[in-house]
Structure 1
Amino acid sequence: MLSPLREHLRDTFWFAPSAALVLVYVLWQLAYWLDTAIVDELQRQREYDAVSELIGVVDDLKTVITTVSSAMMTFIGVVFSISLVAVQMASGQFTPRVVRIFVRSRITKLTFAVFLATFALSLLVLTSYSGETDPKLVDSVPIAQSLLTIGMVTLSLLLFIAYVNATLRLMRVGHVVDRITVEAFRVVQKMPQGGVGDELPAAESGQIGHSGRAGVLRDVNIARLVRAARRQGVVLRLIPRIGDFVVPGTPVLAVHGGRAPSRGALGYTVSVGVERTFHQDLGFGLRQLCDIALRALSPAVNDPTTAVQCLDRIVQLLAELAHRPLGAVGHRDRQGAVRLVQPVPSWEDLVDLGFTEIRIYAVGSPQVTRRIVAALDELLRLAPEQRRPPLLRHRALLVHAVERDVPEAAERAFALEADRQGIG
């Protein structure tokens, strides 16, 4: 039930810094209480010399805390600047869709959050310093607070090193393509293994329209929909696919086998946004890989090797999906009955998504056409018989396009020779 909320929080940049500020305030309160308890205990035991020594130590540390307070804002500016440059370069070189990878980067959020927390902690610690030097009258000596600040500074420096390393990796196309593939495989692994079969009642008894704002259908609360359908004794069928754009009034749910659940039972079950996400979108990974490949094949970039890297991952994803039920998947209740039918891309849709645009723009690049031929041949060996026609169709279309646009017979033969590395 918390899965959609968790995914939405991962797509935001405010939650981690806000949580870090709250946490560091709690830690500061605990450190302040510890400092007060230490001084009270020393005064109770009349250890005034020890209190005087603590006052001397924290006076020396005050210079460090003051320096940290001013330096952390500079560090925060550096982190923010590096992030903006990396996002701009990735958006221009790869595709605007990969900006989401930087937004979801845990190390970026953690670094930014810890830097802000260290800055806030240093300000809080400075407020704890007192001008009182008499060990009998002083209420608190911020020794624990100062040590906590130094610990946060050390953590900030270590995170800054990790952040720079992670950002440099995210600016490499191979790592970006790998991250997209990993996210896509997570979506595949969360898909139900069984198809719907004949468990969907034929009669449709009603439809439920979208009542929220217009936007891209990002995800649905599967557990809540299954629970509402079980209570009503019906089967719900999601009409649009995840990733479709819906407007108010668009039918989103069809009801089979009885009356529709109440609006209250279906509340907060459909989430829309301004762009697609990986959460439940089976085709989004292929879409991003194709976008990167198309940008690489454009005359402005002219980087066929990147397109080949994307094709490697496209083959990996399609090979994983070759034997899975597609077109529609069923989500079952505790008794094993299908309660929600969710449309997903068919095998033909996924093959078209993975190869159509790249095939059209790759005719002039033998490195890419050779990789496409090898990819199709490999998938033809892996896919079951009933799923081979889309692959054969794309192979025939590629051969026809090369024969039409490449005049020399030797060049045509070279361009249509299967090679997993393109031209090595």
Structure 2
Amino acid sequence: MRTLLLKYWYRLRSSFWFVPTTMACLAVALAFSCVALDKTVTDDWLQLVGWSYSGGAEGASLVLSTVAGSMIAIAGTVFSMTLVALSLASSQLGPLLMRNFMRDTANQVVLGTFVATFVYCLLVLRTIRRADEVAFVPHLSVSIGVLLAIISVGVLIYFIHHISVSIQADQVVARVGRELNGGIDSLFPDDFGSPGSEASNPVIEANLPAVFAGDAAVVRALDDGYLQLIDADVLMALAIKEDLLIRLERRPGHYLIKSRAMLIVWPAERVNETLAAKLQAAFVLGNQRTAAQDVEFSFQQLVEIALRALSPGINDPFTAVACVDRLGSALCRLARRDIPSPLRFDSEGRLRVIAPGSTFTGIVDTAFNQIRQSGRSNPAVAIRMLDAIAQIADHVHCSQDADCLQRHVNMIVKGAREAVPDPEDVSAVEMRYTATTLRLREVRC
């Protein structure tokens, strides 16, 4: 249940309507509250407030009509500018970043401010009565409407600045890099796992019962889609309650096909339709990958920006270098963390859940493979990748991680030798290759 709520909360954060709708509802409450207060407060008291509106019904209607009309027009302009920014980001930086722009709280609050001011003025306007009726002019409400209009002008100025800055490639790369670091801190905390506990098949197989393969039931996926979230607490609770051993066949970020194996449960005789439904409910599928439990997805966002920058149509190696810098920084942070073991034990020390996750080798491959392949003819990108790997080497704590980095170093220099036409550029790459190899050799010693 908690995982499902997290999924819906992530969708709300990624939507462009939630914050403006919430602000519009607050504007409705504010309008009714201010009008009710106007009916109880005398005009003599309001005159003591220097900034309050003191005109008649015609003037109040004109003021509110002007503010409401201008706000809805500005809201349309803001929406158009946002669509232009989204289109630019999609074409220049990649479609994976669309959700980052839609999740931008500043854009949502700006649109919500104009919509809320429009709704407030419209609701207050309907309460004004002329002299031929029972005269009523909500002076306080009109004054607050004017104040909201002034605030909206300031918000518009801020939005113009914000949207101009937010579509700059360096700013986008920096924002994605910060989100990536936050994801690493969340999924790989300092005190989780054991040093050098990167998963390996022999370790998993050694902890499995001898009859596991022949006496286990397969729980299959109910639908097609990307695995977004797994409620590990639910799986552990079910495993303890039913005395089961559960092995996950997929992890967040993988694409599931309907009726394909999602997890293996032992012993098979304890698995019925009810239990299978409870186990399936712990998995949340969607149409797209998310960064909630999938750290490789955040790496892929930076990789996508770099690949777009290295494409012949854009040819922006500076942005690609910036992406490599952020990837190197994130991998340095990750190298200092302990990869959690795939084996999950209960309080009595009995193995209950086997949940293979991301490994340092797999994440490094995700970060560097495609950039290396696309930038093999660009010596600046190759040199910066070697520099990044040299920095990562200072933080790795096992020879297996160092071997993974050395493999990428060898492939980078091999690609440069084959694709870079200038011998001096190749020589510069080889010099960085030698320095990086020496630093990695120190780690393995």
Q: TM-score, normalised by structure 2?
A: 0.82
Residue 229 of structure 2 corresponds to which residue in structure 1? 219
Residue 6 of structure 1 corresponds to which residue in structure 2? 9
Aligned pair partner of 2:295 in 269, 275, 282: 282
Alignment of 1:24-423 (within 5 A): 24-38=27-41, 56-57=55-56, 59-132=58-131, 137-138=134-135, 140-191=136-187, 193-194=192-193, 202=209, 203=212, 205-212=216-223, 214-256=224-266, 259-260=270-271, 262-263=275-276, 265-266=278-279, 268-326=281-339, 329=342, 340-383=353-396, 384-406=398-420, 408-418=422-432
For residue 62 of structure 1, give the secondary structure of its aligned residue in structure 2: helix
Distance 2:227 2:300 in 1: 16
| AA at the equivalent of 1:181 | G
Distance 1:124 1:219 in 2: 42
Distance 1:190 1:81 in 2: 36
- Is residue 370–residue 417 contact of structure 1 (8 Å, CA) maintained in 2? no
Structure 2, gaps ≥5 residues long: 434-445
- Quick one: structure 1 residues 130 and 210, their matched pair in 2 at CA, closer, same or farther if it must change by over 3 Å? same
CA shift for structure 1 position 97: 0.8
Q: Tell me which moved more, 61-70 or 319-328.
A: 319-328
CA shift for structure 1 position 35: 1.7
For residue 275 of structure 2, give the secondary structure of its aligned residue in structure 1: coil
Q: Structure 1, residues 133-152: CA drift from partner, whole Å, max 9, x if none?
A: 67xx54x5322322232232
Residue 437 of structure 2 corresponds to which residue in structure 1? none
- Is residue 36–residue 141 contact of structure 1 (8 Å, CA) maintained in 2? no
- Quick one: structure 1 residues 35 and 388, their matched pair in 2 at CA, closer, same or farther if it must change by over 3 Å? same
Identity of aligned residues (%): 27
- Quick one: structure 1 residues 112 and 361, their matched pair in 2 at CA, closer, same or farther if it must change by over 3 Å? same
Distance 1:170 1:408 in 2: 37
The aligned length equals 407
Residue 422 of structure 1 corresponds to which residue in structure 2? none
CA shift for structure 1 position 317: 1.2
For residue 370 of structure 1, give the secondary structure of its aligned residue in structure 2: helix
Distance 1:7 1:338 in 2: 32
- Quick one: structure 1 residues 335 and 102, their matched pair in 2 at CA, closer, same or farther if it must change by over 3 Å? farther
| AA at the equivalent of 1:207 | V
- Quick one: structure 1 residues 230 and 167, their matched pair in 2 at CA, closer, same or farther if it must change by over 3 Å? farther
CA shift for structure 1 position 337: 7.7
Residue 18 of structure 2 corresponds to which residue in structure 1? 15
- Is residue 13–residue 103 contact of structure 1 (8 Å, CA) maintained in 2? yes
**CA RMSD in angstroms, aligned pairs only:** 3.1
Distance 1:24 1:334 in 2: 51
Distance 2:229 2:130 in 1: 57
